[in-house]
Homo-oligomer: A and B are copies of this chain.
């Protein structure tokens, strides 16, 4: 058990000054070839590695990125982290992951913990509580202190910073449109409570698609699910009271659960009812039938967020201007939807 060796120790051992050692190791021409070699050999032998913390202090940059997400046991978020990690690592950054558990307080605590020098910048997706509370002071504070911040997926207009998002409305519109074009006449919506920004936007896309197709919105076909416990019950109630031939769910969990209930009740998928979900995770690929979904490309979103952040950190571009990158979504057609017959297509889209 040998402690890590430092410049000072090498200097003492070799009877030269610390600065000489430092220069020798970084191959400076200021030190003679002999001493340089001697020092390098010694350093190599003792496996010298500069101490990151000391360098961080000196340079006033840590090469760490702080990421705060609502949960980690979640396909989409872990995919985003994968994307962040890839880009960050390739540029020599490490990623510190913190979880807000959808709690406003934890989000604030985590930010305070990290903002005192531990990291160079933030990548964050807002917690549900923060979204509901609409209190974004903690973000504006760190921005004011000069720390770059990138928001992704769950964002807000109230904070001016770089953002990586998908066009949730548009994607939902397209998903519902797929159902409409394949012949569905009555499409149910399974969504979340309103304050989750993405849920609201996806609902909006659903509305737009229906309107564009000349249908009216039937509120009885819309189910809002508060928590996972009531998910099953709410969906069953929908099946009890309404009839429909298409279902659009704002995540794959809702969609798969709805499919199971439909199958229990003897409906054939997609012949009797078509299903499409949001988020292309493992469930969609493994369910029976496999689920058609909107892929959000979390990896690309994470990569884009990391690139924007690092760009700010390395001082490329104007530090004051912010941009919002919209990641392209794509619809993945699987067994839960019918091939669209390419008829009955309205001439102009609202997009």
Using CB atoms and an 8 Å cutoff, list the residues of chain A in contact with chain B.
1-4, 49-54, 56-57, 62, 64, 71-75, 78-79, 81-82, 85, 89, 94-99, 112-118, 144-146, 253, 256-257, 260, 263, 282-283, 286-288
Contacts and interface: CB of A to CB of B under 8 A. Distances in A.
21 contacts: A2-B145, A4-B116, A50-B116, A52-B117, A53-B117, A53-B118, A71-B82, A72-B82, A73-B82, A78-B78, A89-B98, A94-B96, A95-B98, A96-B96, A96-B97, A97-B97, A260-B286, A263-B288, A286-B287, A287-B288, A288-B288
A92 to B, nearest CB: 8
Contact of A286 (B78, B97, B144, B283): B283
Given A73-B78, A75-B73, A98 B85 contact: yes
Contact of A256 (B64, B85, B286): B286
* 3 nearest CB pairs, A to B: A51-B117, A52-B117, A53-B117
Contacts of A146: 1-3
A61 B96 CA distance: 16
Contacts of A94: 96, 98, 113-114, 118
A277 to B, nearest CB: 12
The number of times this chain is found in the oligomer is 2
Among A96, A114, A115, chain B packs the most CB atoms within 10 A around the CB of A96
Contacts of A1: 144-146
A142 to B, nearest CB: 10
Contacts of A113: 94
Given A78-B72, A81-B72, A98-B94, A3 B145 contact: yes
A98 B67 CA distance: 13
B52 A116 contact: yes
A108 to B, nearest CB: 13
Given A78-B78, A96-B64, A116 B56 contact: no
Contacts of A53: 53, 56-57, 62, 117-118
A126 to B, nearest CB: 18
A260 B290 CA distance: 10
